[in-house]
Amino acid sequence: MCGRFTCCHTWREIHEMYRLTDSEAGRNTEARYNIAPTRDVLFVTAGDGGFQKVREGRWWLVPGWAKEIPKFAMFNARSEEAADKPAFRDSFRGKRCLIPADGFYEWTKSEEDAGKDPWFIHLPDRRPFSFAGLWAYNPTLDITSCTILTAAARDPMRQLHTRQPIILDPAAYDAWIDPATSVADAKGLLQQDLDGDLQFYRVGREVNSTNKGGADHPGLIGPLNPL
């Protein structure tokens, strides 16, 4: 799964990942080291004229038909079921997105004190990437939102958890966010991922803090026991 993630690169670096208009080039975003569910995040969708569009929304999908914000967890969606589940079905059909990031966290249970030990997971050289996501707009609540798709974990992530977020290969970006891409083809695109390239290391438990939204500073991604 993906319970928290990071987006620490400059906007210039993120901008280069997508095909955005010049009007997006001046955007200035702060580095974020501990993004938790329900927080607002940036995500990318298909735009006009062959360009891609940056949107902002709540990381906790609120379906367009919902009368209230769902109380059950909506920050992740199982890719095997999302196209058929009522909560995600409409978004999978025509509102697919890319969620920029450069790392995420997963937890294991400590044998010493039964506490939650966090791990920071990233691609080689900490290069930025995109989660495969879904988005929605709810007109009743006037909420734009998104969720991250997950799949069964494989090496090396299965050492930490049974699930992992899907990190799309850039070659799949255009087709993934194109509303004209069929559901069947979109499912196939989810196989084009970079998840086998992931690396990880232990970080301190300050990441676990939820006080006032949780800690958010560069030290969170520092190795617990640096070489």
Q: CA-CA distance, 207 to 218, in Å (whole number)? A: 11
Active site members: 2, 106
Helix (H/G/I), strand (E/B), else coil: 76: strand
More confident residue, 91 or 30: 91
- Across 38-65, average pLDDT: 94
- Domains parsed from the chain with CATH numbers: 4-221 (3.90.1680.10)
Q: CA-CA distance, 71 to 136, in Å (whole number)? A: 16
- Across 68-88, average pLDDT: 96
Stated as kind and residue range, the H or E segment containing 136 is strand 129-138
Q: Cα angle at 170 between 30 and 23, to 5 degrees?
A: 45
- Across 45-68, average pLDDT: 94
Q: CA-CA distance, 227 to 216, in Å (whole number)? A: 24
Q: Are 199 and 122 in contact (CB under 8 A)?
A: yes
- Across 151-177, average pLDDT: 96
DSSP annotation of 93 reads H
* Token output for 171: 């070659």
Closest CA to 99 of 154, 150, 156: 150
- Amino acid 147: pLDDT: 98
First to last CA, the chain: 28
Q: CA-CA distance, 145 to 179, in Å (whole number)? A: 17
Place of tokens 């927080």: 39
Confidence of residue 1 (pLDDT cuts 50, 70, 90): confident
Place of tokens 């640096």: 226
**pTM of the predicted model over 0.75:** yes
Strand duo 143-152 + 52-59: pairing: parallel
Q: 169-183, pLDDT tens digit by residue?
A: 999 999 999 999 999
